[in-house]
Amino acid sequence: MVKSIITIIVAIILLVIAVKLVSWAVYKLLPIGIVIIAAYIVYKVVTSRKN
């Protein structure tokens, strides 16, 4: 009984840490991703107009 409670607590702690890491990663990387996608779209539009 005690072992299962400890396992659940550890799982919850790991889940919270994982969620925090993912949200931090999204917060940090999302703007970079948006800039890269925007730059790629602009590049495609510019190169297709030249042809």
Q: What is the pLDDT of residues 2-25, one digit of tens each?
A: 899 999 999 999 999 999 999 999
pLDDT above 80: residue 51: no
Instruction: Summarize the chain as % helix, strand, coil (round to 5).
Output: 95, 0, 5
User: In angstroms, rounded to a whole number, what is the distance separating the alpha carbons of residues 51 and 39?
Assistant: 19
pLDDT above 90: residue 1: no
| pTM, 2 dp | 0.52
Report the percent of the chain where pLDDT is more than 70. 98
* Structural domain spans, the chain: 1-51
User: In angstroms, rounded to a whole number, what is the distance separating the alpha carbons of residues 34 and 43?
Assistant: 14
